[in-house]
Structure 1
Amino acid sequence: MGKERLGSGPARFGRRPAVPPIARSALLERLDRVDRGVTLVVAGAGAGKSTLLSAWSAGRGGVLLNLELDPPQGPSGGTLVVDEADERHVEWINGLPNDRVVVAAQAPLPIRARQTVTARDLSFAEDETYQALGAALGDAAGADTLAPDLHLLTHGWPQAVGLAAAWLAQQKSAGEREAKLRSLARVDGPLERYLVGAVLDGLARDDRELVQKLAYLPGVDARRADRLDITENLVALPPFVQPVAGKPGWFAVPGGLRAAVQSEAPLSPEAAAALKIAYQGM
């Protein structure tokens, strides 16, 4: 994809619309290959499964079901896209009458699949790392300089790329970004955990509190957020607060980041319990 499509406006991070996802045409075409039967997408948290399924479903007119928020549906025809599947859903999936089913799960499932897309397939190529960084920075030239090293450091893992891009976007100058990126090579311990703390530290207080509370819930819409006193302005806050695939108007902290946010910015046990009880009562 040409660099001219990224634009060169000032970097923005915080309360803003979600950055459009990268057009992963090769993966979308791969999902298209099976026009009847099940495709299984298997990778750990942070691989970009939900983003891929949302884009594919929207382009093909399929029904997208997020099993973390919605129960399995009864028999139906056509195309069905199932996110957040696990062992509990195997019997239901194997019994689906739909012509075409795409299922995302974090671990292999005993499902009669025609093809399987793996974590290796979902990892970004260097050009995709560049696109993600350029979108976060709003600076094509700056992304061109930093992307090769960022790709090597993250191995193209989508969640790590997103976190690093958000952290670099918080820096005020190209020199600061280059210095911060070099410092990642000296991180002792898991890179993603370090980046979660670093990006949280750069947020405004209200945004940090939004992420902190939402990390304890599977997702909220504006009405629930208001009733829970989470925020008066529920919008995307990449990379932490993202739209929920298949649930228009809903936002959540991606599953791969929740535990890290809870560790880096924990609520008290009492506050976390009260928040969950209030949520369950809605």
Structure 2
Amino acid sequence: MSTYPNDAGSLVESSVDDGVLMLTLNSPSDGNALNVAMTEALSDALEQVNDRRDVHCVLLRSSSRHFCTGGNVKDMQSGSDLMSGGVEDVHDRLIRSLHRITRAMSGLDVPSVCAVNGAAVGAGCDLALMCDIRMASTKAVFAESFLRLGLVSGIGGSWFLTRIVGYAKALELTLTSEFIDAETALGLGIVSKVVPEDALDIEARSLATHIAQNPPTAQRMAKRLVRKAADASLSTTLELAAGLQAILLCGHEHKEAVGRFMEQQATKKRTHM
């Protein structure tokens, strides 16, 4: 296992093991609130990923009982941190600071897995939605809770939520600010699996490690194809698929994978003779 340097300190702990970059939100005293310091720490870590050929999957998790409780309400009341200054100041700070996370998460070339324990509310819910795959413990709760504080999602959560649950349900969750439990989130497709709290880390790491074992170039291209296909026409998707497939068919990863497959088949045949 190797550790990632993190100039922002320990707000986001990071390490690489078996191709999995584990990023751990580590500010339990404020529920891993997305203040300027946490935003910068997480953005710094995420923005390194695409240039790291030893990273094949990102696992985002928390060291505390909550995943991320969103913005800090005390800062909102005092008008400090992200909320300090006038409208233009806050607008500029949101784009330069908070939106760094959104751009970095949505721009990841490698797959991302999120392990949600406890609360993932407000911007914390949006952060989880930015990941490709989400797994939750039985104690996880989710909420697009912005209207409770007279706000909207300022980090782009509406874009991700609508694509996951559909327009009508996204609007319902937004307008009601309803808190939903893990099983409800599973039924809506927000998470793909719910596990006991003490098994969350094991299950999430197992999934991330399994994903990380794929041929790295092909995996990055596979994610790119699926991501583009979500918004592109069939003709555009076919053109992209043909281009990516041609590159891979001529590459060493494909040839090595075919060789392994043929050897496995030969071994099975010899075993059953």
TM-score (norm 2): 0.26
TM-score (norm 1): 0.25
Structure number with greater CO (CA < 8 Å, separation at least 6) is: 1
Higher-Rg member (1/2): 2
